[in-house]
Amino acid sequence: MTDTYAVIGNPISHTKSPFIHGSFAATTAQDLVYTAIEGPLDGFAVAADAFRAGGGLGLNITAPFKLDAFRYATDLTERARRAGAVNAMKFVGKRAYADNFDGVGLVRDITHNLGCALQGQRVLLLGAGGAARGALLPFLEQNPAQLVVANRTLATAQAMALGTAARVCGYGELVGQSFDIVVNATSASLRAELPPVPASVFAQARLAYELAYGKGLTPFLRLAQTAGVVLLADGVGMLAEQAAEAFAWWRGVRPDTAGVIAKLTVPLV
């Protein structure tokens, strides 16, 4: 019997997840079907219940339902609990197990695919939304020399970093500071805007990483390039790696991501 999985979001027409998981299934000989569900904005629980009633075994969760999935879950990993958001679920009987692989996928893309160690590095994380929350704990587990979280609203960043070794600041406090790795986890690039980050943060940077993917050379990446950063990356690798983590969690086999990343990569020009 073919197993059923899906991604749920709203809107969902742009999603690459069915292609990614379909490719993973083909290369690992897994008998499954993976679809996309556009859930009602106020109806995540109803949609999830219906999916489960139809025999669905697992869901990926994308915007705007990651907090809804957090509340829906019966069992949360420490990663998901710390992030306060969920991006993958699996269903076993009445239990809804939940995890957040966003940060794990990001770390693997940076360290494995791009070859940039985080250990001992000065890391700047821009933003304090869901993507940044998912990245915080996996970043700290890599033992960077420094992890700074910059956000427009300082209180939001402070709440996110509470009890961790991360330092928080407003964008204005970044003037004159430089970092080895700069990660843009804000939504600015989705609107073709530049987060209010000074060019000085890139003075000694070896990597500028944009979580948005498929946008080409975003204003953030263009600023980094102009400042002399050689290695630029968008979030396509993170997308593939977090999907591979979820796939392995569901199926017990971790697919190779290189082929998917190659097919989805948009030149940064």
Q: Which of 66, 90, 94, 263 is catalytic?
A: 66
Q: Quote the tokens at residue 175.
A: 């003037």
Cβ atoms of 265 and 46 within 8 Å: the answer is no
Give the C-alpha separation, 50 to 34, whole Å: 16
Give the C-alpha separation, 29 to 218, whole Å: 37
> Quick one: three-class SS letters along the chain?
CCEEEEEEECCCCCCCHHHHHHHHHHHHCCCEEEEEEECCCCCHHHHHHHHHHCCCCEEEECCCCHHHHHHHCCEECHHHHHHCCCCEEEEECCEEEEECCHHHHHHHHHHHHCCCCCCCCEEEEECCCHHHHHHHHHHHHCCCCEEEEECCCHHHHHHHHCCCCCEEECHHHHCCCCCCEEEECCCHHHHCCCCCCCHHHHCCCCEEEECCCCCCCCHHHHHHHHCCCCEEECCHHHHHHHHHHHHHHHHCCCCCCHHHHHHHCCCCC
16 labelled catalytic? no
- Give bridge partners of residue 231 from the DSSP assignment: 207
Give the C-alpha separation, 172 to 170, whole Å: 5
Which residues are annotated as catalytic? 66
